[in-house]
Amino acid sequence: MKISTLSVLAVVTSLASASSALAQDVAAGKTSFNKCLACHAIGEGAKNKVGPELNGLNGRKSGSAPDYSYTDANKNSGITWDEATFKEYIKDPKAKIPGTKMAFAGIKSENEINNLWAYVSSFDKDGKQK
């Protein structure tokens, strides 16, 4: 009996995780990324601009994109980018990393932030979409 209860619990947990992932819209995130395009690039062939290219952001240490001149604040932040950190940062970059040169007011909409993360995290370090 315990095994079937655990099986049901596993299925329910999986469904909850899947519905959370579905709530994030990559296409809407791509549209939101237009706000970032003036300073950042993503995808195959992306190069640093005013800000670093964002390929493979998930799991990357802050201040580590090759050939980009970061502030000491970014290099010494101790941040490794993941979903939670990105979502906190994008709401108010200067509050998350005081001294960053990122001049962006932030995004306040949770839905837009979720979609933006879905888009940004869909690129591997080589700029290929997963």
Beta strands in 34-83 (DSSP E): none
pTM of the model: 0.81
Q: From CA 91, how far away is CA 78, in angstroms rounded? A: 19
pLDDT tens, 26-61?
A: 999 999 999 999 999 999 999 999 999 999 999 999
| Domain boundaries along the sequence of the chain | 25-120
How far are the Cα atoms of 58, 95, 103 from residue 100, in angstroms, in the given order? 19, 9, 8
pLDDT tens, 75-124?
A: 999 999 999 999 999 999 999 999 999 999 999 999 999 999 999 999 99
Q: From CA 108, how far away is CA 14, in angstroms rounded? A: 29
pLDDT tens, 98-107?
A: 999 999 999 9
Please name every residue paired with 123 in a beta bridge, in sequence order, or none if there are none: 129
Q: Specify the CATH number for 25-120; select among 1.10.630.10, 3.40.50.12780, 1.10.760.10, 1.10.490.10.
A: 1.10.760.10
| CA 92 to chain CA mean position, Å | 14
